[in-house]
Amino acid sequence: MISNFEEAYNTNDRAQRETLMNVVVVGGGPTGVELAGAIAEMKKYALPYDYPTMDWTQMEVYLVEMSPRLLNGMSDASGEKSLEFLKRLGVKVRLNCAVGDYDGEVVKLADDETIRTQTLIWAAGIRANPVPGLPEAVFGSGGRIQTNGYHQVEGLDGVYVLGDLALTPDENFKEGHPQVAQVAIQQASNCAYNFKSLLKNRPFKSFLYKDLGTMATIGRKKAVVDLPFFSFQGFFAWLAWLFVHLMAIVGVKNRLFIFLNWAWSYLSFDASLRLLIRPVLPKFEAEEVQERMVEDPKAKVDEKV
What contacts 103, CB < 8 A, 6 or more positions away? none
If phi > 0 it is left, if psi is from -120 to 50 it is alpha, else beta; for residue 139 that is beta
Distance CA 212, CA 9 (A): 46
The active-site residue out of 34, 41, 60, 65 is 34
34 labelled catalytic: yes
Which residues belong to the active site?
34
